[in-house]
Amino acid sequence: MSIELFNESGEDAPEDRIIEVARFAMGAMDVHPAAELSIQLVDLDTMADLHMQWMDLPGPTDVMSFPMDELTPGGRPDAADPGPAMLGDIVLCPAFAADQARKQRHSYDHELAVLTVHGVLHLLGFDHAEPAEEKEMFGLQNRILADWYDARDQRATEQRQAEKDGRLLRNIGFDAEPGTS
């Protein structure tokens, strides 16, 4: 998956983590591995302008999604298999997210992860206008985030164990390279 992130917000943001959670969410949703996604981080004024232009709502918001290609399954039986597509654009407002994180009493990084997954789900056609849609979308969003955190914790545990194993092997005289003790 190709994910490009452009930070035009003037704010520090965990760009690698945003890309990581977007990639994880796309994988969890079985998005084609060659799909492309663009993520833009913008300031409050830019987000307010986009919010008014596209939603006719005043003031900034936390995340907006702009799907590019229609990703509908099926189609004509004689059509070629669908290939990679430009999934679309996610626009995040880090300043808005920071304020929202403080109000909800969780970390800025977590808030940006939530908003990124939320944006990916919107690009894939999920919405929360109706109660049933909201239940489905937010349930899926929470599951993807929990799985992402579990995978991150597992990788961190494995990394710590590999480092311990390497130190132990060096201390007892073994090299890390096979056959070079």
Annotated binding site for Zn(2+): 118, 122, 128
Instruction: List CB contacts of 91: < 8 A, sequence separation 6 or more.
Output: 39, 40, 41, 42, 47, 50, 63, 64, 65, 66, 119
Binding residues: 118, 122, 128
97 neighbors 47 (Cβ within 8 angstroms) = no
- What is the CB-side half-sphere exposure of residue 96 using CA atoms within 13 A? 20
Q: Are 119 and 90 in contact (CB under 8 A)?
A: yes
**94 and 13 in contact (C-beta within 8 Å)?**
yes
DSSP string, 40-91: EE--HHHHHHHHHHHH---S--SEEEEE-S---S---TTSPPP---EEEEEE
